[in-house]
Chain A
Amino acid sequence: MDRAWHYLDHAASSPLRAEALAAMLPALRDGVGNPSGAHALARRARSALDGARERLAEVVGCAPGEVVFTSGGTEADNLAVRGVLGTRPGTAVCSAIEHHAVLNPVLAAGGRVVPVDRRGLVDLDALAASLDEDVALVSVMLVNNEVGTIQSLAAIAEVVRLRAPRAVLHTDAAQALCWVDVREATAAADLVTLASHKCGGPVGTGALVVRRDVAIEAQLLGGGQERERRSGTQDVAGALGFAAAAQAAAHQRPSLVARAARWREALVDAVARGVPGSIESAVAPDQGRDHLVSGIVNLCLPAVDSEALLYVLEHEHAVLASAASSCASGAQEPSHVLVALGIDRALAAGSLRVSFGWSTSDDDVDAARFEVPVAARRLQAHARDGAPA
């Protein structure tokens, strides 16, 4: 399928940046040894890995030794939740809009879920009320993957320090590198999840930042790599690509954030005018968008089904976007995030997530803003009694 797509699904996976590919190619092509070994090639691998670790640490504001490379964000989230509970028994608490990589381990451990408001912001009073001396872990995601809400980690850390002094604070920053300065979150949190492919690095690489000697129980046992925190031979090429992508993302962040804010404005205006009754999912009346990253736009369109909308956008307009998170079968499931925001189930069935990234062009956004209203109106013509086709 060679055609020019308007790729607007960076929050699902962002294409590999040239910088990341360039950083990986020598390691992939020429080969490296096992970084745990002793000979020349092993030492070269270790050196490359350590370099990548240093560059990533600088981007996120931690010491290199605090970076634990993983196979991705999901593993990092599981390591955070299960790793903490393994060393300090107690209750886990997370927000209602966490990614399932946090939500499911928290629920599996019998943890508690804290509500968010209409904008996706954690209700600090509810958080305070849910905390006590027994709480071992609090996990609140820095940037939500579906609607783009940015949490105030400093304020959350303050509540946690007062109400749950034993607790470790984890934040899933998998979506954050392109849009916010993660160093501020790293300063406030004990554990930070990072993901490579959300910012233009390779898929299959991520990291958990483990701050201030927070003890975590390794979930993968073996050779004791990553300072006994994650066994398994490290993916040197992946780490190199991740670090290069993270550096590029941080460097380009101010200009991308500004461009994305203009794109979002144009898209939101076009849909508001062209599809009456549509809403921005995490925007409350008269409260602005300061709590959102500019790169993730989540809209709900009435009398439209996401699956049909995505099909028409793809097949007729070459626009690739997404809706709620996809389940294992590939079907679109009703989003727990939109439910947590209090959006009506019928309206949530017409959700559309458009997410921008380093390769997005004005042309891509123009395609979306012209075609989303056209596709939505066409599908609305097939609805019956307001129920979408």
Chain B
Amino acid sequence: MSDRVLVAMSGGVDSSVAAALLVGAGHEVVGATMKLWGGPSDSGCCSVADVDDARSVARRLDIEHHVFNFGDDFDEHVVAPYVADHAAGHTPNPCIECNRHLKFDRLLRRADALGFEWVATGHHARIVEHADGTHRVARGADRAKDQSYVVHVLTRDVMRRVRFPVGHLTKDDVRAEAARLGLTTATKPDSQDVCFITATRGRAAFLGDRITTRPGRVVDGTGATVGEVPAVELVTLGQRRGLGSPGGGHPWYVIDVDVTTATVTVGSAADLRVGAALLDGLTWVGSPERGPLTAQVSAHGDPRPCHVEGATVVFDEPSRRVAPGQSVVLYDGDLVVGGGTAAA
């Protein structure tokens, strides 16, 4: 059996150390940087400087490095849905879609075609063997950096072929290892936010170039107009600022966004809390479970104790409403057991 590993190298410290660890373990390792986005980018992925960083690490490790242009797939599966979700008033998950369609589909198929047994990435997550011999995604050792949420979409077939070499390390361990090996990426800052949105222009300008945004009416629980927003497509559930200063003594939160009628409903923090979330596209890694489980609703959100009834996640304690479109990942302890997206 071949022992060749294709490592996705973004030019960041985690994937640099992932490659180094695999080389150290004696695997035949080839590095690949995916060029995904042709437009402006702060960093995170795809800039020429990031490719140079990945190449520099590969040179230091004495492994081959290639660049794969998957820009068309990225546009189709990540950027276009991101824009469409916003247009529909939903909260997109571009990093999850990138993992689903790029790293763990297109790259995996490319690896297959080129004769690689494994694909590895620098995600802070682990893949563990379950009692029944199948595999599960588990939380990374560094809870503050855990990325199991964004890789929860891995199917069991994919898990058998994927490795997360830094998943058992803390971020500090990773940086120390990079420094020990003299990798140029050792002190590189963590990537932030969505890679194709620049800090200088921001999300609003990016979406403004691609969709027609509409001004929206801000109403309170009684339906009375209390303010307005310039672009209803850019309002998110739970948002507090930029609501056209609705009056009153207590803070107002967005508790509902209806893009079709261009209406934003505001209320108190208590109005934002719900007891459950209905999921679209709920899938289970193994057999369906009732719980008790925990649900995580954002990349670094706290796990919420819950159980599952059909396609509904019932929270033990009333919790902030999950924005439509947001991924809800279900855990049994540290193991990812299922997930879906919050229904509108």
**Taking A308-B114, A311-B114, A312-B114 as contacts, is the C-beta distance between A331 and B109 under 8 angstroms?**
no
Task: State whether the Cβ of B112 lies closer than 8 Å to any Cβ in chain A.
Answer: yes
Determine the residue in chain B with the shortest Cβ distance to A328. B48
| Least CB distance, B33 to chain A, in whole angstroms | 8
CB of A331 within 8 A of CB of B68, answer: yes
CB of B113 within 8 A of CB of A329, answer: no
Taken together as a complex, chains A and B put the C-alpha atoms of A230 and B113 apart, in Å, by 49
CB of A329 within 8 A of CB of B109, answer: no
**Taking A311-B114, A389-B113 as contacts, is the C-beta distance between A329 and B67 under 8 angstroms?**
yes
Task: State whether the Cβ of A384 lies closer than 8 Å to any Cβ in chain B.
Answer: yes
Taken together as a complex, chains A and B put the C-alpha atoms of A379 and B109 apart, in Å, by 10
Taken together as a complex, chains A and B put the C-alpha atoms of A305 and B112 apart, in Å, by 13
Chain A proximity mask over B38-61: 1 for CB below 8 Å, otherwise 0 = 000000001010010001000000
| Least CB distance, A308 to chain B, in whole angstroms | 5
Determine the residue in chain A with the shortest Cβ distance to B109. A389
The contact size tier of chain B is 10 to 19
CB of B113 within 8 A of CB of A378, answer: yes
Task: State whether the Cβ of B66 lies closer than 8 Å to any Cβ in chain A.
Answer: yes
CB of A389 within 8 A of CB of B67, answer: no
Taken together as a complex, chains A and B put the C-alpha atoms of A23 and B168 apart, in Å, by 59
Q: Which residues of A contact B48 (CB under 8 A)?
A: 328-329
Task: State whether the Cβ of B110 lies closer than 8 Å to any Cβ in chain A.
Answer: yes
CB of B66 within 8 A of CB of A382, answer: no
A308: contacting residue among B46, B67, B110, CB under 8 A: B110
CB contact list, B58-110 vs A, under 8 A = 66-69, 71-72, 106, 109-110
Q: Which residues of B contact A333 (CB under 8 A)?
A: 69
CB of B112 within 8 A of CB of A382, answer: yes
Taken together as a complex, chains A and B put the C-alpha atoms of A325 and B55 apart, in Å, by 19
Determine the residue in chain B with the shortest Cβ distance to A305. B110
Determine the residue in chain A with the shortest Cβ distance to B55. A330
Task: State whether the Cβ of A307 lies closer than 8 Å to any Cβ in chain B.
Answer: yes
CB of A379 within 8 A of CB of B69, answer: no
Task: State whether the Cβ of B135 lies closer than 8 Å to any Cβ in chain A.
Answer: no
CB contact list, A331-349 vs B, under 8 A = 331-333, 349
Determine the residue in chain B with the shortest Cβ distance to A307. B68
Taken together as a complex, chains A and B put the C-alpha atoms of A83 and B5 apart, in Å, by 51
| Least CB distance, B217 to chain A, in whole angstroms | 43
CB contact list, B95-140 vs A, under 8 A = 106, 109-110, 112-114
Q: Which residues of A contact B35 (CB under 8 A)?
A: 327, 329, 331
Q: Which residues of A contact B106 (CB under 8 A)?
A: 389
Taken together as a complex, chains A and B put the C-alpha atoms of A328 and B52 apart, in Å, by 10
Taken together as a complex, chains A and B put the C-alpha atoms of A311 and B113 apart, in Å, by 10
CB of B112 within 8 A of CB of A389, answer: yes
| Least CB distance, B51 to chain A, in whole angstroms | 4
CB contact list, A362-388 vs B, under 8 A = 378-379, 382, 384
Q: Which residues of B contact A389 (CB under 8 A)?
A: 106, 109-110, 112-113
CB of A384 within 8 A of CB of B109, answer: yes
Taken together as a complex, chains A and B put the C-alpha atoms of A330 and B52 apart, in Å, by 10
Q: Which residues of A contact B55 (CB under 8 A)?
A: 330
A332: contacting residue among B33, B69, B114, CB under 8 A: B69
Chain B proximity mask over A300-329: 1 for CB below 8 Å, otherwise 0 = 000001011001100100000000000111
| Least CB distance, A376 to chain B, in whole angstroms | 11
| Least CB distance, A128 to chain B, in whole angstroms | 35
Determine the residue in chain B with the shortest Cβ distance to A346. B72
Q: Which residues of A contact B110 (CB under 8 A)?
A: 305, 307-308, 389
CB of A331 within 8 A of CB of B67, answer: yes
CB of B69 within 8 A of CB of A382, answer: no
Determine the residue in chain A with the shortest Cβ distance to B34. A331
Determine the residue in chain B with the shortest Cβ distance to A349. B72
CB of A382 within 8 A of CB of B67, answer: no
| Least CB distance, A223 to chain B, in whole angstroms | 33
Determine the residue in chain B with the shortest Cβ distance to A382. B113
A-B contact list, 19 entries, CB within 8 Å? A305-B110, A308-B113, A308-B114, A311-B114, A312-B113, A312-B114, A315-B114, A328-B48, A329-B35, A329-B67, A330-B55, A331-B68, A331-B69, A332-B69, A349-B72, A378-B113, A379-B113, A389-B106, A389-B113
Sample of 14 more A-B contacts, CB < 8 Å, known A329-B67, A331-B68, A379-B113: A307-B69, A308-B110, A308-B114, A311-B114, A312-B113, A330-B51, A330-B67, A331-B51, A332-B69, A382-B109, A382-B113, A384-B109, A389-B109, A389-B113
Residue ranges of A at the interface with B (Cβ–Cβ < 8 Å): 305, 307-308, 311-312, 315, 327-333, 349, 378-379, 382, 384, 389
List the 5 shortest-distance A-B pairs measured between CB atoms, nearest first.
A331-B69, A382-B113, A389-B113, A331-B35, A389-B109
